[in-house]
Amino acid sequence: MGSIYLIRHGQASFGAEDYDVLSSLGERQSTLLGSHLAQTGLRLDRAVSGSLTRQVHTGRLVLEQFGQAPALETDAAFNEFDAEGMIRALLPALLPSEPQALDVMRNAAHNRDEFQRLFVNLIDTWVGGDYDAPALQSWQAFLDQVNGGLQRLLEQAHGRERIAVFTSGGTITALIHLLTGMPVASAFAMNWQIVNTSLSCLKFQGARVTLASFNSHAHLQLLNTPSLITYR
Residues 117, 9 share a domain? no
Range of the domain at 207: 2-80+139-226
Residues 150, 75 share a domain? yes
Tell me which residues of the chain have a pLDDT lower than 50: none
pLDDT for res 64: 97
Q: Is 208 exposed, middle or buried (0-12, 13-18, 19+ CB in 10 A)?
A: exposed
Residues 174, 153 share a domain? yes
Interatomic CA distance for residues 90 and 136, integer angstroms: 9
Element housing 169 (H / E): helix 169-180
- 133 within a domain of the structure (yes/no): no
Residues 100, 69 share a domain? no
Residues 53, 144 share a domain? yes
Sign of the C-alpha dihedral, residues 139, 140, 146, 149?
negative
- 231 within a domain of the structure (yes/no): no
pLDDT for res 15: 66
Domain's final residue, options 128, 163, 193: 128
Residues 173, 97 share a domain? no
- Read off the amino acid at residue 139: W
Beta bridge partners, 163, equal 4, 46
Interatomic CA distance for residues 41 and 209, integer angstroms: 24
Interatomic CA distance for residues 131 and 18, integer angstroms: 27
Residues 29, 54 share a domain? yes
- 134 within a domain of the structure (yes/no): no
Residues 152, 202 share a domain? yes
Residues 204, 112 share a domain? no
75-112: per-residue pLDDT in tens? 999 999 999 999 999 999 999 999 999 899 888 878 88
Residues 144, 35 share a domain? yes
